[in-house]
Chains A and B, each alone.
Chain A
Amino acid sequence: MIRLQALRKVFGQRVAVDGFDLHVPRGVVFGLLGHNGAGKSTTIGMLLGQVWPTAGEVRVCGHDVFSHRSQALARVGAIFETPVFYDYLSGWRNLEILGGYTAPSRPERIREVVAWVGLSGREQSPVRTYSHGMRARLALAQALLPAPELLILDEPTNGLDPEGIHEMRETIRRLHAELGLTILLSSHLLSEVQQLCTRIAVLHQARKVFDGSVADATRSRNRVRLRTDDFPTAVAALRRDGLITGHEGGEFVTLTDGIGPSTVVKRMVELGLPVHAIQPEEETLEGFYLSLVKHAAQSEPSQARR
């Protein structure tokens, strides 16, 4: 659905995005993470043909965004962090106008999306009378108007209260479940991304530092919970055999790189130690993100020397 290849954008002396390769398959909810200025919004700008890449290729729905813009964006909807409209016009008029840049919108279709986002009854009121939450719903309605296959959400919960954030999260779930949309979600809220996304990419200082499934990101590769009758004996034996590098709390062991839980189980059985449970420890996305960013920051000085 989205394919970025060696994407690079430089503003003056500042590199905003550097060598970004990305593949977002059809039907996933994909999270784009990164600190402020990491290059998320610039990447979204390039995806929508609003920002010209310095180098690289951007393909959306199988088409190059810059040479075949109309085909690439025909079935794409987008929401930006602060929903802005023609405040002096009604919600309905705004939908007609914004939808009209893709294709003329039939009144039945407008009624349908207005009902879907829960704005029925207020669509004829001027947008200046809308609350922030209603604007967010109108933004979603305009994005849904062309019956998109891909929805790009750039910080969609910015400025929303906790109820609004919850509502938006549920709406994204519905969009994916009921309409089967592919969704690219850029957000600072890591818990939200963890709940909604199946895959993520993390940008740090213009470069991609992770691209994979949320399950991979939240699974600690080395740390496992090991339940056995005699934990100290097991730890001593496993350490002697070089299968673990550490332990903590009478329940957790850190596996040596390249060693999987099955190897540990096999060795313990050989030693006659019972294994009641062995389970890779789940990490929060927040923990994963912070350690990733810390690691990236530590490796930067050595990269700079090179």
Chain B
Amino acid sequence: MFFLQLKYELWKLFGKKRTYIGFGAFLLVQNAVILMFRFTKATGAIRRALEGGGYPAEAFLTASTIATQVVIPVAFLLLPLYVALVGGDLVAKEAEDGTLRMILARPISRVRLLALKWLAGALFSVLLSLMLGLFGWLFASLWFPQGGLFAIQLETGPSAGFAVFGGAEGAWRYGAAHVLLATKAITIMGLAFLFSCFNMKPAAATILALSVMFVNAILMNIPWFADYKGWFITHHLNLWQWMFLQSPPLARMGESISLLVGFNLTFFAVGAAAFQVRDIKS
């Protein structure tokens, strides 16, 4: 019964055109960036960095390298926007449209309904993250050869250096990074979902979630607060980037995953508590 109801939630989610805005935007942005790399001199800096480090540029100017360069800005800006949009819609849009009242005339409990909706949103977030990786790699493969992976180490800034991986290792790190990117997508979706459980418009829930994320990112990037990075959720949301470090800090990654699980449980619990006590009226 639970999975049948989950299927219905997915029908509702994927039946809406706005659910696909994210996928469409990824296609456009990724192709634009890949074509910029292909038809401008933008690869020159990568080539110089590789050759300066003693690596043959041709072996690493590949589809994986370009796809990785593409995913960074998309994951920073577009992915949060689209998962927050869907998360903010999940409850608030149904309340706004009046369908929530139709549902809550049924014998389903509010917590179960929220669990179904959260799960549908989480599946969407996972799918969007994986599609981001797949689309990037597919489109980059149209213009660049297969081979090793060159990745700037974002953790300590571009000037800190880069890492290079052979073809097979590069492929699995690229895949694993996108699986971990799903944790970021789910968490932001979950935050928007939390606000969506309150009596507010869907757009307000989306904007609030993004505002929290941006405020976190701003605070985290103030150099004087560097010692307190671990306090900011955005720091833990970036754990997917650590897959591109030469030696991924597994303990730190485990810690971040645990914290994100805690954040998600908290978001759900607070949202469910707020929704439980709400009066649902037309």
B41 interfacial by beta-carbon distance below 8 Å: no
B102-116 interface code vs A (CB 8 A; 1 in, 0 out)? 111111110001000
A93 in the interface (beta carbon within 8 A): yes
Which residues in chain A, 87-132, are within 8 Å of chain B measured between CB atoms?
A: 88-89, 93, 96-98, 100-104
User: Which residue of chain A lies nearest to B7 when distances are taken between CB atoms in the complex?
Assistant: A100
A88-B16 CB under 8 A given contacts A50-B101, A82-B282: yes
A290 within 8 A of B: no
- B11 in complex: contacting residue of A71, A93, A142, CB < 8 Å: A93
A49 contacts which chain B residues (CB < 8 A)?
A: 104
Of the candidates A45, A82, A88, the one whose C-beta lies within 8 Å of that of B280 is A45
Inter-chain residue pair count (beta carbon < 8 A): 87
Q: A50-B101, A86-B99 are in contact. Are A102 and B279 (CB under 8 A)?
A: no
Within 8 Å CB of B107, what residues of A?
69-74, 76, 101-102
Which residues on the A side are within 8 Å of B97 (C-beta)?
84
Beyond A86-B99, A88-B16, A100-B4, is A81–B282 a contact (Cβ under 8 Å)? yes
Name the contact of A97 in the complex, choosing from B1, B12, B104 (C-beta under 8 A): B12
User: Is A80 part of the contact surface with B, judged by Cβ < 8 Å?
Assistant: yes
Give the contacts of B85-144 with A (CB-CB under 8 A): 97-99, 101-109, 113
In the complex, chain A residues 12-52 whose Cβ is within 8 Å of any chain B Cβ: 41-42, 45, 48-52
Q: Is A193 close to B, CB under 8 A?
A: no
Residues in B neighbouring A84, C-beta threshold 8 A: 97-99, 102
Cβ of A78 under 8 Å from chain B: yes
Say how far A304's CB is from chain B's closest CB, in angstroms: 27
Question: Using Cβ atoms and an 8 Å threshold, which residues of chain A touch B113?
Answer: 101
Closest Cβ of chain B to A126, distance in Å, is: 10
B101 touches A102 (CB 8 A): no
In the assembled complex, the Cα of A152 lies from the Cα of B104 at a distance in Å of 13
A100 touches B5 (CB 8 A): yes
Quote the shortest CB–CB distance from A17 to chain B (angstroms). 12
Which chain B residues lie closer than 8 Å to A101 at the CB level? Answer: 5, 103, 106-108, 113
Q: How far is the CA of A27 from the CA of B108 in the complex (A)?
A: 25
Give Cα A82–Cα B45 distance, bound, in whole angstroms. Answer: 61
Query: In the bound complex, do residue B281 and residue A51 qualify as a contact, i.e. CB atoms below 8 Å apart?
Result: yes
Beyond A74-B107, A89-B12, whether A50 also contacts B280 by CB under 8 A is yes
**Which chain A residue lies CB-closest to B16?**
A88
Given A89-B11, A97-B11: A80 and B103 interface contact (C-beta under 8 Å): no
Q: A85 at interface (Cβ–Cβ under 8 A)?
A: yes
Binding site for B on A (CB under 8 A): 11, 41-42, 45, 48-52, 69-74, 76-78, 80-82, 84-86, 88-89, 93, 96-98, 100-104, 142, 146, 152
Nearest 9 CB-CB pairs, A to B?
A101-B106, A78-B105, A84-B98, A73-B107, A50-B280, A70-B107, A97-B8, A51-B279, A101-B108
- A-B contacts, 20 listed (Cβ < 8 Å): A41-B281, A48-B104, A50-B105, A51-B281, A52-B277, A70-B108, A72-B107, A73-B106, A73-B107, A80-B101, A80-B102, A80-B105, A84-B98, A88-B16, A89-B11, A93-B15, A97-B8, A100-B5, A101-B107, A142-B102
User: B interface vs A, CB < 8 Å?
Assistant: 1, 4-5, 8, 11-12, 15-17, 97-99, 101-109, 113, 277, 279-282
**Apart from the given pairs A72-B107, A82-B282, A86-B15, 10 other A-B contacts in the complex at a CB distance below 8 Å:** A41-B282, A45-B279, A50-B279, A51-B279, A51-B280, A82-B98, A84-B98, A88-B15, A101-B103, A101-B106
